[in-house]
């Protein structure tokens, strides 16, 4: 992976480990069978408030095919624990050839890596009760658990107390949106998705993390840009936001991603941007950095750092209640 140098625009990520949030990467679609379907083209757009992806999927065979397409959400705990992210990234929209994808939800509750979904349903828990987390910030659209349900869950070690002594669910939730997609012979299906990303952030006092050189390709130029930004900020801080995207699943395709484009966009002219990515960069627009690869087989997932003077004018997004269509 080559270092990416955008002089004066890239700086190292700065974070306070005790108060920062762990990055939660979200990716894109996954096919159950990539032997007969080729990913001819993929275009990803990333800013600190929006992630979009466009796919062109070609049926290379002379026969009509039906394949399963999955959009997996990050696994999350059913009990709110400290600073982390939960559920579905907000403003999610998935379309197929310009029309909303008619997906169904596959939900698995896990405890110690084993499925406990059937156990929870046997105790009378609805899908909403299983998937719910207080971090979603919505009113309960279902009845709370009964004392007897909590008692029975406790006997199965599925209702426990955390370090603060607060009792709650001990399981995690893995949700995927899944649909069957038909591919006509030698035809292309276009899938588009867009959402507001989970954004990693930190506190107001920043220290350079030791692993930045590897993760964000820091060098002397980056440090110089950071020092200039800090001097300009004065008593304020250069607030860091990071967006994470699962990219390595592109290796599953038979020929990799045959035509790949990444657009990283600043929201403000003075915003600092840093990432590692192979190849050269061009600027099709004043605030956009563009990277292009052919027959691309990603060796690592994507981490993008955005830095702003003082407050970045963005609220942290912890996700929303997933769709539970079965």
Rounded-to-integer distance, Cα 306 and Cα 242, Å: 6
Answer for the pair 38, 183: CB distance below 8 angstroms, yes or no.
no
The band of 85, judged by pLDDT with boundaries at 50, 70 and 90, is confident
* Dist. CA 175–CA 74, nearest whole Å: 8
H or E stretch including 130? helix 127-131
CA 243 to chain centre: 8
Of 136-145, 157-166, 173-182, minimum mean pLDDT range: 136-145
How is residue 241 written in tokens?
A: 């936001």
Tell me the C-alpha distance between 265 and 104, whole Å.
Answer: 32
Q: What is the pLDDT of residue 17?
A: 27
Question: What gap in Å lies between CA 111 and CA 38, rounded to an integer?
Answer: 36
Look at residue 165 and tell me whether its pLDDT is greater than 60: yes
Burial grade of 227 (CB within 10 A; 0-12, 13-18, 19 or more): exposed
Question: How far is it, in rounded angstroms, from Cα 112 to Cα 96?
Answer: 36
Question: What percentage of the chain carries pLDDT values higher than 90?
Answer: 53
Contact 188, 57 (CB under 8 A): yes
At 216-267, the pLDDT tens digits run 776 676 667 767 777 776 666 677 788 999 998 888 888 899 999 999 999 9
Closest CA to 13 of 269, 244, 274: 274
| 167 or 2, higher pLDDT | 167
Whole-number mean pLDDT of the chain? 83
pLDDT tens profile 259-295: 999 999 999 887 888 888 988 889 999 999 999 999 9
pTM: 0.87
The residue ranking higher by pLDDT, 93 or 135, is 93
Furthest-apart CA pair in the chain: how many Å? 65
The residue-averaged pLDDT of 143-166 equals 90
pLDDT of 62 above 80: yes
At residue 128, φ and ψ (nearest 5 deg) are: -65, -40
Q: Which range has the worst mean pLDDT, 55-59, 110-114, 134-138?
A: 134-138
pLDDT the model gives residue 9: 38
CA atoms in the 13 A half-sphere facing the CB of 271: 23
Q: How far is 131 from 319, CA to CA, in rounded Å? A: 13
Say whether pLDDT at 139 is over 70: no
- Per-residue confidence (pLDDT) for residue 136, from 0 to 100: 83
Q: SS3 for 20-57, per residue?
A: CCCCCCECCCEECCCCCEEEEEEEEEECCCCEEEEEEE
Q: Find the mean pLDDT for residues 294-322.
A: 78
Local confidence band at 44 (pLDDT 50, 70, 90 cut-offs): very high
State how beta strands 37-46 and 257-265 pair: parallel
């Amino acid at each position: 992976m080559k270092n990416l140098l955008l002089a004066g625009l890239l700086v190292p990520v700065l974070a306070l480990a005790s108060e920062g949030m762990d990055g939660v990467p979200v990716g894109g679609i996954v096919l159950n069978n990539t032997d007969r379907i080729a990913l001819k083209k993929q275009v990803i757009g990333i800013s600190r408030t929006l992630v979009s992806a466009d796919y062109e999927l070609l049926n290379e065979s002379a026969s009509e095919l039906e394949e399963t397409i999955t959009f997996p959400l990050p696994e999350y705990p059913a009990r709110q624990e400290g600073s982390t992210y939960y559920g579905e990234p907000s403003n999610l929209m998935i379309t197929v050839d310009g029309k909303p994808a008619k997906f169904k939800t596959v939900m698995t509750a896990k405890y110690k890596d084993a499925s406990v979904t059937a156990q929870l349903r046997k105790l009378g828990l609805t899908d909403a009760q299983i998937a719910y987390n207080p971090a979603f910030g919505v009113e309960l659209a279902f009845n709370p658990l009964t004392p007897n349900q909590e008692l029975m869950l406790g006997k199965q070690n599925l209702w426990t107390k955390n370090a603060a002594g607060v009792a709650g669910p001990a399981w995690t939730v893995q949700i995927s949106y899944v649909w069957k997609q038909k591919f006509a012979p030698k035809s292309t299906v276009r899938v588009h998705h867009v959402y507001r990303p989970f954004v990693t952030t930190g506190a107001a006092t920043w220290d350079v993390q030791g692993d930045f050189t590897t993760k964000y390709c820091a060098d002397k130029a980056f440090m110089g840009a950071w020092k200039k930004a800090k001097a300009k900020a004065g008593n304020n801080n250069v607030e860091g936001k990071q967006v994470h995207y699962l990219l390595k699943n592109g290796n599953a395709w038979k020929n990799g991603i045959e035509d790949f484009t990444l657009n990283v966009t600043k929201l403000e002219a003075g915003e600092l941007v840093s990432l590692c990515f192979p190849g050269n960069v061009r600027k099709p627009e004043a605030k956009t950095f563009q990277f292009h690869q052919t027959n691309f087989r990603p060796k690592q997932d994507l981490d993008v750092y955005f830095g702003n003077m003082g407050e970045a004018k963005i609220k942290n997004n912890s996700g929303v209640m997933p769709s539970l269509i079965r």
